Chains A and B, each alone.
Chain A
Amino acid sequence: MAAGPAAHAALGGDTASIEADRAYFAARSSTTAMGGRTVHLLTLANGTVVREFARADGMVFAVTWRGPARPDLRQLLGPGFDVLQADNVLAGGRRTHRPLSVRRADLAVSSGGHSGAFWGLAYRPTLAPPGFSLRNLS
């Protein structure tokens, strides 16, 4: 049953958090093992594709999305959502006029596109397995 955002959100969460996301998004899912990490592919009803990258122990260290809508990032990023919001306003609360991004030691978010075709990635460098490169987020 779809519930509110899971206590352990996908990014930084465990295998159970991935299942919580799948249920929350009512997504079709598939899993691919790739050299010491596992990619969980969630396909939403509107065609948005979410990928969750998990270490051998199940912890999710990166997520990506691509599709007609940004997925529910409160659900997908967990505590990272508040960081995303805080880092994308100017003094006084003014909009940045730029795609959403975060540049921190423990969280990186990059995003772009336009209405109807959005993409993005969120990455926790401190949780990534040794030797992992952002180039692997595809």
Chain B
Amino acid sequence: MIRALVALTTLLLLSACGGGGSGSSTPASTSVTPPTTLSNFATVTVDAGPPALDVGPNAYIQANVAYVSVTLCAPGTPNCQTIDHVQVDTGSVGLRIAEGVLSPTLLAALPQQEDSAGNPVGECYSFVDGYVFGSVRQADFQIGGETVSNMPLTVLGDAGAFSTPPRSCSAGGGANLDTVQNFGANGIIGIGVTTTDCGIACTTAGGYSSAIYYDCPSLGCGSIIARASSAAAPFQQLPNPVAAMATDNNGSILSLPAPPPPGRRP
């Protein structure tokens, strides 16, 4: 069973500028040589998932999930951390990281987004099997040679006012996916087909789509608030990280190695 999960390596190319095809002629070993003319790529790994999945009574190993590493820095500082096993998702939008994988030093230095009332902003986001909830913070984000300064992300399962998802967040059903083990990854980078994670629906107070933005005073998150939809600074909604890049921002290519010959494991 474990043998079926041998790591594959491929490329996540962070632009639509073409040229990815040259990386697809792959030897039977599982690594892909990046096209030398491109700097805007990140390596995708398919493996058993972060070690935190395989512990305790609910231990399991992941299969068929594409992971990348991303780097987050406190804005304008060298206080940085590289986070592995961030799931690549072409069906959602925005960067979401589990609170537990962030170093306390970095977490404390990531500023919380504030709303017009001066309160922190919280966000709920729905996936097909559940939901996540946490604080919206800002970080300098890096992947594959590209950077987005002051990019909003959601820190899933953050403490304090964010410790209990609002009822309107859990009302869509499914599991609370705020822990690494429940989620199956240390975080998720959504590079779907829209430039922000909610769009026009969240630009009106009370409005929502897959994303719901909340006013979060210290007593807990309550009102659903309006957040502007912009894929460039100053951000309010979580942007599509690719759309928010200064260059190479018009799309992405997920390039997988050719399948092995019939009957052979990769």
- Interface residues of A, Cβ cutoff 8 Å to B: 45-47, 67-75, 81, 84-85, 88-90, 92-100, 111-116, 118
Contact = CB atoms under 8 A, between A and B. Distances in A.
A67 B126 CA distance: 12
Range for the number of chain B residues in contact with chain A: 35 or more
B201 A46 contact: yes
Contact of A69 (B57, B126, B190): B126
Given A94-B182, A95-B130, A115-B126, 10 more contacts: A46-B208, A68-B201, A92-B58, A94-B60, A95-B183, A100-B128, A114-B192, A115-B91, A115-B92, A115-B125
A113 B126 CA distance: 11
Nearest to B174: A100
Interface string B205-233: 01111101000000000000000000000
Nearest to A85: B173
Contact of A118 (B126, B130, B168, B208): B126
Contacts of B71: none
8 contacts: A45-B206, A45-B207, A46-B207, A69-B212, A75-B171, A90-B58, A100-B128, A115-B197
Interface string B121-136: 0000111111000000
Contacts of A100: 128-129, 173-174
Contacts of A45: 201, 204, 206-207
Nearest to B190: A115
Interface of B: 57-58, 60, 89, 91-93, 125-130, 168, 171-175, 177, 181-184, 190, 192, 194, 197, 201, 204, 206-210, 212
A69 B131 CA distance: 11
Query: Across chains A and B, which 8 residue pairs bring their CB atoms closest together, nearest first?
Result: A114-B91, A70-B172, A68-B209, A115-B92, A72-B171, A46-B201, A115-B210, A95-B175
A97 to B, nearest CB: 6
Contacts of A68: 201, 209-210
Contacts of B194: 116
A84 to B, nearest CB: 5
A113 B181 CA distance: 23
Contacts of B171: 72-75
Given A46-B208, A97-B129, A92 B57 contact: yes
A94 B181 contact: yes
B258 to A, nearest CB: 27
A58 B210 CA distance: 31
A93 B57 CA distance: 10
Contacts of A71: 172
A29 to B, nearest CB: 19
A6 to B, nearest CB: 14
Contacts of B190: 115
Given A111-B128, A115-B127, A73 B172 contact: yes
